Structure formats: C-alpha cells, structure tokens
A and B are shown apart, each in its own frame.
Chain A
C-alpha cells in the first residue's frame, strides 16, 4: 500500500474503523515507513489533545421550558386552533346571529309600516270602507285613519 493511500486511511485506522484486511495492510506499511509512522504519531497526539476540552460546564438550571402550555402529542397548529379557533368560530357565529336578527327586525318593521299613498288615494280608500265622513278629514288626519284601516285589513 502506498503512502498516499495510507495517509488517507490513517484517521480511520487510528479510530479502529477500518475493515480487518485494510487494517492489516496499513499496519504492514507503517512497519516499514518512517514518514507514515511520524504522520500517524502526530495525528494521534493531536487528536489526543482534544481530550483537554473534555469538560463542559452544564448550567445547574437546565430545565425544559416549553414555549406554550402544550398537550403532549398535540401539534402546534392544533394548539393554536384550540386556543384561538373556538374564539374565532364563536365570534363568527355570534356575528351571523346578530346580522340575522337585525335583518329580521328590519323586515318586520317594514312589514308593519303601511305603504305610503297620496292623500287622494287615502280618501278614496277610506270611502271604500263606507266611511265618507272620515274621508273628508284634513290631510294630516286622513293618514292616521288610512293606516288604521290598512292594519285592520291585514
């Protein structure tokens, strides 16, 4: 095995990660190659130096702090829907109900209000009820008679 090939394998060789046959061939080469021996030693010493940084101080207050109150297994989307979706849905339903109520009230009001007719038409309508005496009332009074007769008609 040539030096170039061995050099590429040295890291895995030192880490014991080579297959058995390659391991043996690297060992055979190293036995007779001072250059590769030196390379191996330097890599081994360098990697061993990393042990200097073996200790990392872990904070005492390392605790799990989830960002929201999560129910295990529930997705974040489900969480948001659970917290906000029902409120939004309730608001929509309430809005629809209020809108429907307003519409109903308006329609009822309109149904209650008699159609606006001219004074002469009002007098003519009143006479149709055989109420000629009332048909000659002043304009500001005939309107009330007319409306009353219209309501009675409904």
Chain B
C-alpha cells in the first residue's frame, strides 16, 4: 500500500495541502496557519458526526493539529496530507470512543440544537405549514443523526468517511487501516442497519 502511495505521489503533482505541509516542514509557520484554516472545519464536522459532542469534537481538532505541528521535523510527503490527516482523526475519534462508557443523545439534559452541531433554529413564521415542514425536517435530521451515531464504531466511521467526507472505499481503507473488502463489508452492514432504523422516514 505504501508503494502505491509513493508511486502515485511521484507521478501526480502534489495537492495544495501536501505542498503547504512541505512548506511548513521547511520552516514556513504561516503554512501551518493556512493548513488549519483550510482543514479545521472539515475535521470538526467529521469528528462531531462521530463523537457527537461539540466539546469533544473541538478536542479532536486541537489534538489533530497538535500532531500536525509536532510532525513538522519528521514529515515526508509519502502520502497526501489529507489521507494522513484523516488517519489521525480516525484514530483520535476511535480513542475518544474507547474512553467513554456510553454516548447517548436521549437525555433530559440534551444540548440545544445550536450546541449539538445543528444550525441555529430559524425564527418562527406565521405560515404554519412552513413551520410544520421545518419541524418535520428537524425531526428527520435528529433521527438520521441518532441512527448514524448508534452504529458500531467502525461502521459509523466508514459511513462518516464515505457519505459525509466523500472518500472512496480505497481512501477509507487507508484512513482506517483496513482492506477495501473490509470497508465494503462495513458499509454494507451499516446500510442494512440504517435501513431498519430509518424505515419510517424513507419516502418522506
């Protein structure tokens, strides 16, 4: 797998993030700032979808970029920066999950929508049909969120990387340290589970 990385990297020009990391490794501190600006939000979204809590997602962002910072002296462009970053975030998310006993979104102390990673609720309107549609939409989002976050860790990560980060099976395999066939199996099982959980919502 590393051989494929190296040969493809040598054939193709480096992507912007990989170039930035190379510049950072060479001593350009501003390149790190730019890397953060370009990737922090994506890391946060990915982490939030997996760990389910804004503070924990922020912790993942901080830890991930701390590792980027500390890797400056040892960085070699053997792979794309994004692949390497995904690998870091996957490991951090899985570690976070192992530390926790349980993740529950069904709680009397559930955070308000904004804190839970949802956009702020729109102001109510006089149009009750529109308000009803919005409410239904929010309930659907909550159902999807709960369904995804109830998946086993490895299936959840595969779904987050594939459906929300747009990674291919091969890229997911690299990020998770698994084979492509393993990723295929994870996604297949995840979709079967999601189908059962979200059956009431399909077609709405």
Chain A contacts to B: CB under 8 angstroms: 8, 10-12, 15, 17, 42-43, 45-47, 49-50, 52-59, 62, 64-67, 70, 72-76
The interface residues of chain B lying within 8 Å CB-to-CB of A54 are 164
The interface residues of chain A lying within 8 Å CB-to-CB of B163 are 47, 50
| B65, A64: Cβ atoms closer than 8 Å | yes
| B140, A49: Cβ atoms closer than 8 Å | yes
| A57, B118: Cβ atoms closer than 8 Å | yes
Q: Interface of chain A, helix or strand or loop or mixed?
A: loop
The interface residues of chain B lying within 8 Å CB-to-CB of A42 are 195, 202
| A15, B162: Cβ atoms closer than 8 Å | yes
Scan residues 13-69 of chain B and give those whose CB is less than 8 A from a CB of chain A.
24-25, 29, 32, 36, 40-41, 44-45, 48-49, 54, 58, 61-62, 65-66, 69
| A70, B48: Cβ atoms closer than 8 Å | no
21 interchain pairs (CB within 8 A)? A10-B188, A12-B187, A17-B168, A43-B195, A45-B203, A46-B198, A49-B194, A49-B201, A49-B202, A52-B137, A53-B145, A56-B44, A56-B48, A56-B118, A57-B118, A59-B58, A70-B70, A72-B69, A73-B70, A73-B72, A75-B70
With an 8 A cutoff between CB atoms, is B141 at the interface?
Answer: yes
With an 8 A cutoff between CB atoms, is B3 at the interface?
Answer: no
> Shortest beta-carbon distance, A120 to chain B, in Å?
79
Which residue of chain A has the shortest Cβ distance to B65 in the bound complex? A64
With an 8 A cutoff between CB atoms, is B77 at the interface?
Answer: no
The interface residues of chain B lying within 8 Å CB-to-CB of A50 are 144, 148, 159, 163-164, 194
> Shortest beta-carbon distance, B113 to chain A, in Å?
9
Which residue of chain B has the shortest Cβ distance to A67 in the bound complex? B66
> Shortest beta-carbon distance, A71 to chain B, in Å?
10
Chain B contacts to A: CB under 8 angstroms: 24-25, 29, 32, 36, 40-41, 44-45, 48-49, 54, 58, 61-62, 65-66, 69-70, 72-73, 114, 117-120, 137, 140-141, 144-145, 148, 159, 162-164, 168-169, 184, 187-188, 191, 194-195, 198-199, 201-203
The docked-state distance in angstroms from the alpha carbon of A67 to that of B62 is 9
The interface residues of chain A lying within 8 Å CB-to-CB of B120 are 57
Selected from A47, A58, A72, A76, the residue in CB contact (under 8 A) with B194 is: A47
| B162, A70: Cβ atoms closer than 8 Å | no
The docked-state distance in angstroms from the alpha carbon of A67 to that of B1 is 34
9 closest A-B pairs by CB? A73-B73, A11-B188, A73-B72, A56-B45, A46-B195, A53-B144, A58-B41, A45-B202, A56-B117
The interface residues of chain A lying within 8 Å CB-to-CB of B72 are 72-73
